Structure 1
Amino acid sequence: MTIRRLTPKDLSAYRAIWAEGLMRVPTAFLFGAEEVRAIPNKDIEKALQTHLTFGAFDEASRIQGFISARRGGPRRMRHMADIGPLYVRDTAQGQGLGRALVEAMLQELARNGVLQAELCVDVENTRAQALYKSMGFHVFGRRPRSVLVDGGPRDDFLMIRALDETDLTRDA
């Protein structure tokens, strides 16, 4: 597998895997499928240029997974980044691809001066929680009704990891 930053040239592959993820695991995404379909290509191309999105590609150059992150906007929040979503195709799961994508993202964020990475994960997604915990993230809160999926409320755990060795668990 090859992991690299996605560019506007990857638009079709990115849209396809994003749509697949929305169909298979709608609770892992903030946007719904209809909302994603309504986003113009030019807006997604701009996001690929301004936000970090990495893709994992197999030997045949087919995308098998992706991860995104957005750095805090105001100067006072530029030390942190929000990670997500992370999605790996079923056929590529169990091969360490999710871990490799998260690690690549964390390394890039640290290289760019980000001090902490944060994410939200559905409280029922124990597999993703285990991955994140094994990579040094810890839960620092729970957001009730974080999203409504098909009209039903879903809670998220809020997770955080320091990228500079600071102990963020001291007050937890």
Structure 2
Amino acid sequence: MARLRRIRLEALRAEPSSFASRFEDWGILSDDEWRQRLNDPVFIAFNNGEPIGIMGVKRFRPRKMAHRATLVMVYLRESFRSTGFAKNLLDVVIDFARGEGILQIELAVNAESLAASRFYQRHGFIEVGRIPGGLLDHDGEIDDVIMVRRLRE
């Protein structure tokens, strides 16, 4: 749990405009609250035993929507970007999702995060819409770009 806490808090601190959650909200959680918030699968990328990335998948609960899941908590330490770690982590999550019978992965990405949007596009995600002002940041409103990848082949 300590490694997960460390990389999640690093992500929230390093990229605050990329997440709906705030560092201040997660930083004060008790161990029980961490466990409750992490009921869905979370995958961590390591380099030499050190956590450097995180990616979670949250399945929709209603039975008619259980074939869908949302990619959450996506982060890779900046010094490891463009090294293949992000692709490997995404591949692990997608393989897991397929094994669970998930047919579609969805995500919301900050419209200002062009590198992230391009990464998802390179890996089969397509933009299906936008939520204007999806996030409120210190600097104002930021649109969310909604992207989807079908997992059936």
* SS of alignment partner, residue 17 of structure 1: helix
Taking only the aligned residue pairs, the percentage that are identical comes to: 29
* SS of alignment partner, residue 82 of structure 2: coil
For 2:31, the equivalent position in structure 1 comes to: 41
Question: Do the aligned partners of 1:88 and 1:98 also contact (CA within 8 Å) in 2?
Answer: yes
What is the alpha-carbon distance in structure 2 between the residues aligned to residue 136 and residue 108 of structure 1? 17
Number of equivalences: 153
What is the alpha-carbon distance in structure 1 between the residues aligned to residue 69 and residue 63 of structure 2? 12
CA shift, 1:151, in A, is 5.9
CA shift, 1:38, in A, is 3.0
Query: 1:19-58 maps to which residues of 2 (within 5 A)?
Result: 19-48=9-38, 50-58=39-47
Amino acid at match of 2:150: A
CA deviations 1:112-149 (Å, max 9, x no partner) are: 00010000000111111111001100000001111111
Amino acid at match of 2:2: S
* SS of alignment partner, residue 113 of structure 1: coil
User: In the alignment, does 2:142 pair up with 1:142?
Assistant: no
Aligned structure 1 segments of 4 or more residues deviating by more than 6 angstroms? none
RMSD: 1.3
- Selected match of 2:4 from 7, 10, 14: 14
What is the alpha-carbon distance in structure 1 between the residues aligned to residue 116 and residue 9 of structure 2? 19
CA shift, 1:40, in A, is 2.3
What is the alpha-carbon distance in structure 2 between the residues aligned to residue 90 and residue 159 of structure 1? 22
Query: 1:53-64 maps to which residues of 2 (within 5 A)?
Result: 53-59=42-48, 61-64=49-52
User: In the alignment, does 2:149 pair up with 1:161?
Assistant: yes
Name the TM-score, length of structure 2 as normaliser: 0.94
Structure 1 unmatched runs, 5+: 1-10, 166-172
For 1:99, the equivalent position in structure 2 comes to: 87
What is the alpha-carbon distance in structure 2 between the residues aligned to residue 29 and residue 127 of structure 1? 15
For 1:90, the equivalent position in structure 2 comes to: 78
User: In the alignment, does 2:61 pair up with 1:67?
Assistant: no
What is the alpha-carbon distance in structure 2 between the residues aligned to residue 47 and residue 23 of structure 1? 18
Greater mean alpha carbon deviation, residues 105-114 or residues 146-155: 146-155
Q: 1:99 to 1:25 in 2, by over 3 A?
A: same
CA deviations 1:94-117 (Å, max 9, x no partner) are: 211111111110110011000100
